[in-house]
Amino acid sequence: MTTRIYRGRLFVFVLLFLVLLAGLEGVLRANNFRYEPDAEFSFPRPSDFAEVRYDPDLFWTLNPDDPGVNARGFWGEALPGAKAEGAYRMLFIGDSIMEAGYPAEVEACLHAAGFAGAEAISLAVRGYSSYQGLVVAEKYGALLEPDLVVVQFGWNDHWLAFGKPDAEKSFAPPPEWSLRVHRVYDRVRVLQGVGWVWGVLLG
């Protein structure tokens, strides 16, 4: 009888604890609470590195294994070489807003208007700042010989730097076990809340 009562009380305690956690999780989500103490960038957070490829110069590029991404880690076919005669080459550099499809739209509109030589190359990547755009321009600008360069940044630059300016950052991609931990942490707001409290207590 005593064992049965103990098990019953334990079950009720565990159930109430889970209900409390679920309620707290709901409150934190409703208030859009997030806490990422190890973030170097607004994107990618540590849990996002599985979706991109580490790059020593640009920090990250798109994953070449994804459909529609070339070997350099940008959208589109392999980066072209010398321009064909009569071509008008446009180079687009920016963040996720530019990456969303603007270069292809510009090229399609110009072709429809009769400018068959118009050529759009997108080197825009989600999360990029103007510093990464500068590196992209220095790395590929002369190689591609564009007639026009369109640059768009702002969304990522308007955040205060995470830790220090991009130009001073240096990091390596996290190991796989760390990615798994961060994926769980990124999904559970209660864990982020515990991390926030711990950070406050440590000063």
Beta-strand pair 88-94/148-152? parallel
Give the pLDDT score at 47: 54
Q: In what order do the strands lie in the sheet with 118-122?
A: 118-122, 88-94, 148-152
Cβ atoms < 10 Å from Cβ of 121 = 22
Helices (H) and strands (E) in the chain, counts: 6, 5
Q: How confident is the model at residue 37 (pLDDT cuts 50, 70, 90)?
A: low
Cα–Cα distance for residue pair 93/160, rounded to 1 Å: 21
Cα–Cα distance for residue pair 178/156, rounded to 1 Å: 25
Q: How confident is the model at residue 196 (pLDDT cuts 50, 70, 90)?
A: confident
Give the pLDDT score at 159: 62
Average pLDDT over residues 114-121: 96
Using the structure block, give the residue that is written with the tokens 């270069």.
Answer: 103
pLDDT in tens, 138-162: 999 999 999 999 999 987 776 655 5
Residue 38 structure tokens: 């190890």
Cβ atoms < 10 Å from Cβ of 3 = 7
SS3 31: coil
pLDDT in tens, 60-88: 899 898 999 999 999 999 999 888 889 99
Cα–Cα distance for residue pair 44/96, rounded to 1 Å: 12
Which range of 35-44, 51-60, 122-131 scores highest in mean pLDDT? It is 122-131
Give the pLDDT score at 120: 96
DSSP track, 149-171 = EEEE--TTTTSPPSSS-GGG---
What is the model's pTM?
0.64
Residue 196 structure tokens: 């926030």
**What residue segments make up the domains of the chain, in order of their start?**
57-173
Q: Is the pLDDT of residue 1 over 70?
A: no
Identify the residue with better confidence: 178 or 5: 5
Across 10-14, 50-54, 97-101, 170-174, least confident range:
170-174
